[in-house]
Amino acid sequence: MIVCSIFVRPKMLFVIWSMILILISGQPASRVPVHAYLGIFDEHYYEMITNKNVPFENVDILIVAFGTLNKYGHLTNLTENFEYQIKNISKMYRKVRPDGKILIASNYDRNLDEKYILAASKPLEFAQSVKNFIDKYDLDGYDMDWETGSVDYYANVTTILFAACRKVLGDGYILGYTIIPNLTGADTILQVEPYLDYINFMCYGDGPNWIEGLFEKFSKCPRNKIVLGIASENNVETQQTINHKVDLARKGSGAVFEWRIDNDPNFSTIKMIEIAVNSK
């Protein structure tokens, strides 16, 4: 990620692209878009690339985790084998979904706060490094997965970075932000939302009216930009919790995302998501 006038702003561009995906794929108009994270940093990546039956056809936006920030505050590779890995993934995904989109995510880490702050001191340099990275690997956008515990304290930093990215990238790239909604204030989202195409909510699992409470908390954020999180790890999801999130996403013209498709035993979670997405 992710979730107006004829001179298209990012929010309208993303909506238009979602409609194009529907037309190209021949999928029903009520189909909720699905984003999925894919890790390249542990054994699950290597297990996945040997599998010829990865259900990429169910994924509209694939977010490759992770890029990182270097000592200059520029976007760079997280792993030494990134170039080989991203080319492998792109080939596998685009063969099945030539109409789909691939994004790079910059990662979270206890020591990354200072690097994001450094990046914000030279925001156009940071944004250009993002564009250079995306263009080098023929990707379609950028997702920030900072996850700092001081997210509201650094709201201005995040806003500066996204504003610069939108200025440099223009409307031709997808720009997304992944948050822990319980730690993130509504005012922080109001600051950054105008620059974004979607916001991933890490709302794994479910509880009585929990998601509805998040919608109330972030009521000023456009619902079509909210992407609800579904986890394949730790057995926190069931078909019932997934149905609930997909239904809420459909009502708000939003989307859902899976963390993470490469660590999804037998791809059971992404298959449950597809069952929910295809239900009426």
Residue 278, helix vs strand vs coil: helix
Residue 255, helix vs strand vs coil: strand
61 strand-pairing partners: 35, 101
With pLDDT > 90 as the criterion, what percentage of the chain qualifies? 73
Question: In sequence order, what are the residues at sequence separation of 6 or more whose Cβ sits closer than 8 angstroms to the Cβ of residue 64?
Answer: 37, 38, 40, 86, 89, 102, 103, 104, 105, 139
Number of domains present in the structure of the chain: 1
| Inside any domain, residue 235 | yes
pLDDT exceeds cutoff 80 at 133: yes
Provide the CATH number for the domain around residue 60: 3.20.20.80
Question: In sequence order, what are the residues at sequence separation of 6 or more whose Cβ sits closer than 8 angstroms to the Cβ of residue 215?
Answer: 223, 226, 248, 252
pLDDT tens column, 218-274: 999 999 999 999 999 888 999 999 999 999 999 999 999 999 999 999 999 999 999
| Inside any domain, residue 169 | yes
Give the Cα separation of 217 and 86 in Å (integer): 37
| Inside any domain, residue 4 | no
| Inside any domain, residue 271 | yes
| Inside any domain, residue 3 | no
With pLDDT > 70 as the criterion, what percentage of the chain qualifies? 89
Whole-prediction pTM: 0.88
Q: Confidence class of residue 24 from pLDDT cuts 50, 70 and 90?
A: very low
| Inside any domain, residue 21 | yes
Q: Which of 35-44, 100-109, 171-180, 196-205 is least confident?
A: 35-44
Domain that holds residue 272: 10-278
| Inside any domain, residue 177 | yes
Mean pLDDT of 177-198: 97
